[in-house]
Amino acid sequence: MTGQQPGLPRIPIVAMGDSTTAGTPGWRSPIEAPPDGDGDETSQYAYWLMKRHPAWEVLNRGVNGERSDQVRDRFARDVVSALPAVVILIAGVNDVYQDRPASHVEAQLSEMYEEALRSTITVVAGTIIPYNTATHAQNECMHEINEWIRRRCDGTRVHYVDTRRAVALPGNHDLLVETVDQLHPTAEGYRMMSDAIAPVVERALAHTPQR
């Protein structure tokens, strides 16, 4: 797919999560629209990562609307079975949207981090990005989860990336800098996410044993 060049050794990476991994609203991931996905392929951070690093094979395993427990339920199938060097994991926004507590999200994320590490997969842990219709309470919940993610990362096996800041309006991290539906980034927003994620993946790969 996009950005890949024949003949280069592939570095497998899984992008795992909900709509903001899938590329909603412009793109439907291969999980949502098998076998190759559908729509504007530039509306996903996976596309931009592969444009930047043609040797990376970033598998988009995002599904629009999923809560963190639903992402966790398919983690073994969509991440562990792919044997990636790195998993990029962003989940929890739909839990917040449904007014579930931060502790619920933190428990699911913790289980997924541990499952990845047991499988010798290095984790890049992204923060929940904003959506413009969030209430004050929902934003506070997202901040609580994101601070937990920051504290949980150790910089060796679990690497932190502030994807919220990457796509937020300067001066107001509770609003998207660009959005077409008040809920998700534009294609340019997904490119901005990739700009934040790419150097963290580079560092994560440096800590990942060769398979």
4 within domain boundaries:
no
Which pLDDT does position 3 carry in this prediction? 45
Structure tokens at 15: 């992008």
38 within domain boundaries:
yes
The domain in which residue 87 lies consists of 11-206
The answer to whether 130 touches 88, Cβ cutoff 8 Å, is: no
170 within domain boundaries:
yes
What is the C-alpha to C-alpha distance for residues 69 and 82, in angstroms, rounded to an integer? Answer: 20
Q: How many CB atoms lie within 10 A of CB 149?
A: 27
Which pLDDT does position 155 carry in this prediction? 86
For residue 161, what is the enclosing H or E element? strand 158-161
Phi and psi, residue 87, nearest 5°: -115, 130
Which pLDDT does position 2 carry in this prediction? 46
What is the C-alpha to C-alpha distance for residues 112 and 125, in angstroms, rounded to an integer? Answer: 10
5 within domain boundaries:
no
What is the C-alpha to C-alpha distance for residues 10 and 57, in angstroms, rounded to an integer? Answer: 6
pLDDT tens digits, the chain, 211 residues: what are they?
A: 444 455 667 899 999 999 999 999 999 999 999 999 999 999 999 999 999 999 999 999 999 999 999 999 999 999 999 999 999 999 999 999 999 999 999 999 999 999 999 999 999 999 999 999 999 999 999 999 999 999 999 888 999 999 999 999 999 999 999 999 999 999 999 999 999 999 999 999 987 766 5
Which pLDDT does position 6 carry in this prediction? 56
CATH number where 17 lies: 3.40.50.1110
3 within domain boundaries:
no
Phi and psi, residue 122, nearest 5°: -75, 140
Which pLDDT does position 4 carry in this prediction? 46
Helix (H, G, I), strand (E, B) or coil at 108: helix
Count of domains for the chain: 1
1 within domain boundaries:
no
What is the C-alpha to C-alpha distance for residues 93 and 76, in angstroms, rounded to an integer? Answer: 21
Which pLDDT does position 210 carry in this prediction? 61
Cis peptide before 25 (omega within 30 of 0): yes
6 within domain boundaries:
no
211 within domain boundaries:
no
